[in-house]
Chains A and B, each alone.
Chain A
């Protein structure tokens, strides 16, 4: 599957390492180990270095995501507008900590530094949808909307 991606890149070119990782992640939603090995062979960089890059950047993850990804913005403007409480409420509501996925694989909760929508702080991003100017009271409603939503493509199905 991911061999098709390699066609767009030159072999043995280290500068394509990060774009490759990004492309792989956009297919699977995370970076599977075998893909990392393939990339390492393709760009001729030791696997340890590939792993180093994959763990250095916040964007990459090595474990699969849940069906819905909730990103809580923790930028300065959101912080001033109490995004800490929003995060806490989401954590208690879902029973997980930031960075974790619920057991039923429905939700993954992530924290991002700033999504640049400071003017409508506090913001959370569920999948691709922005929810701005929210308060703790809105959270159950937002979660409910996605709980019943149709399943999005699962990583396993793509593999």
Chain B
């Protein structure tokens, strides 16, 4: 047998035209309908092979998510193939998803028959010959690059003891980086679709809804609305057609959980959608995925096609009478389409502009029909809940926030990557225990949670537990899970300016407070680090102070009167900045200084004439001809011409440029 779709013998009759209701059970535990030693051996051995428990040749697994590919995984794969050919070694090469530890990509795993799987980190093309020689020829552990062992620690540190993984609890990401994301057989062998099978054969739709309600699962896209409640409302609606949508329009800059999940374990998300569709009675589903994620879209297309081929998607699935068709819709690059009514508009072929609610999509959504929209991570939580039971799931997390949450660690932090922690863990643990703290011995300044709708939290509130309510209390929000760490060299005024620019560009323009209000806020913030006024007069200084007085009120008005979540949360980055980093705003305003050295207009650039060799590189790069000097002699910067772009500082090989 090559795959589960192949019939083991003539007694097996599962095809898409003639579906067998025990197909999934048969794949995961089978054969069920007949006892034949040959069939049993074939299916069990296929399962073992897919779980890498039984194999003749060594298996080499390479992390091939976007982060892996961006770090050069494709070249490493080529190099490994070439090296194997050269040494005439037989081995299987497989691409897996992302294990989450993006900072040390490309990660290569090697598994020998009968031995534990060992992960190697930061494998570049140069390391390949040594890696192959030590591991495959000498059959030893390549100690310099070892990350950890997937099994017991036989002389090699176990992955579970690596600080990055030690404090995580993987439910959603359990398969990521472990299972081959392209193969439906691998997913089945690892117990995939078991939850769907259980639901389809043993549970009524009401029971599924009740189970999700009891689990306390809340929307992972940011809002935190109870998922079970949403399903219940939709299930009660009477309609000839209901729709299910998976929101994979992960627009928050600094968030990449959905991308990684879709690339590394697409079947899990599809299974969650299938269970949801069964619970609410939907027969058509859409996945709305960003066009910026080509690999995720490719993997989803492959997964849907495979599911259809196996008869797990389509009409009369596994002879249960339940039908479901899933289509992929590519987003076209609009942040506001993450909002559910805008997303629906976009699928319908309109501009993605939010509509007033009610009516909520559960009553009148896509094409005017009842629609349930959930985030990728929410769906990925559904199969484990069904398998472990609501009670068990509800034990994880805090009183009001159940389960785990995936965060995308990035910014000025040592261990960037994807982490999954139980709700209730403190931010400090995420930053310092899992994230490994700030690199280059710099000071921690803030952590930005929740993307443009969230806020920046300083060290004083870093012991806040991660849950929906606590984060809201301190002025941030869960959001989709972007977790950007900032060090002492980040200016909070600049960060506020960055987010407002983003919101201003992404505002759809439908309602006035968001369209005009954010523009005015941006103008006020932009004026703060300006060195001179537009005409150099005192009037500009007055404007600067006046703006600051109005900022708070403007923010309140925008928050209270905007139509959708984008506008309502648009002032958050500024408000949290004013709350925790008021001293930085004041420093910019009164002292005309930016101690982080980011707001360039407030800086003065000069050349240290003892260090400068007069190479002329900065003269060439200066776009305003503000640097003068003879070749071979120290140069000078003309302050009245300098536009403070900082290019000379970046380019100088001798670090001769001083910034004050």
Contacts and interface: CB of A to CB of B under 8 A. Distances in A.
B549 interface: no
B334 A76 contact: no
Given A89-B647, A118-B408, A118-B416, A112 B352 contact: no
A8 interface: no
A36 interface: no
B259 interface: yes
A112 B292 contact: yes
A116 interface: yes
A151 interface: no
Contacts of A53: 349-351
Given A57-B333, A113-B251, A119 B651 contact: no
Contact of A56 (B334, B451, B484): B334
Contacts of B410: 76-77, 118-119, 121
Interface in B626-643: none
Q: Which of A56, A89, A118, A123 has the most CB of B within 10 A?
A: A118
Contact of A117 (B66, B330, B349, B646): B66
Nearest to B412: A80
Contacts of A45: 349
A159 B506 CA distance: 33
Given A43-B349, A75-B254, A116-B259, A132 B71 contact: yes
A92 B650 CA distance: 13
Max chain B CB contacts within 10 Å: which of A17, A22, A116?
A116
A85 interface: yes
A60 interface: yes
B347 interface: yes
Interface size, B (range): 35 or more
B348 to A, nearest CB: 5
Interface string B246-261: 0000111111100110
B119 interface: no
A112 B332 CA distance: 12
A57 B102 contact: no
Contacts of A19: 329-330
A28 to B, nearest CB: 16
Given A77-B484, A80-B411, A132 B70 contact: yes
A108 B409 CA distance: 31
B482 interface: yes
Interface residues of A, number: 46
Contacts of B650: 85, 89, 135-137
Interface in B408-428: 408-412, 416-417
B621 A92 contact: yes
Nearest to B69: A130
Interface in B327-386: 329-335, 346-352
Interface string A123-138: 1000000101001110
Contact of B486 (A80, A92, A132, A136): A80
Contacts of A119: 67, 102-103, 105, 256, 408-410, 416-417
**B250, B409, B645 — most chain A CB neighbours (10 Å):** B645
A17 B416 CA distance: 39
B256 A76 contact: no
A53 B347 CA distance: 12
Interface string A53-90: 10011111000000000000011111111000100110
A109 interface: no
A52 B351 contact: yes
A142 interface: no
Nearest to A56: B351
B291 interface: yes
Contact of A59 (B254, B291, B348): B291
B569 interface: no
A155 interface: no
Interface in B256-284: 256, 259-260
A57 B484 contact: no
Interface string B541-556: 0000000000000000
Given A14-B348, A53-B351, A130-B70, A58 B253 contact: no
A79 B495 CA distance: 8
A96 interface: no
A5 interface: no
Contacts of B348: 14-15
Contacts of B52: none
Contact of A60 (B254, B332, B448): B332
B504 interface: no
A116 B250 contact: yes
A22 B105 CA distance: 32
Given A53-B350, A116-B292, A76 B451 contact: yes
A21 interface: yes
A74 B348 CA distance: 29
A121 B70 contact: no
Interface of B: 66-67, 69-71, 102-103, 105, 250-256, 259-260, 290-293, 329-335, 346-352, 408-412, 416-417, 448, 451, 482, 484-486, 490, 495, 498-499, 502, 506, 508, 621, 623, 645-647, 650-651
9 contacts: A18-B349, A19-B329, A53-B351, A58-B332, A75-B254, A77-B416, A79-B495, A114-B253, A120-B102
Q: Can you list the 5 inter-chain pairs with the closest CB atoms, starting with the nearest?
A: A119-B102, A58-B333, A75-B253, A130-B70, A76-B254
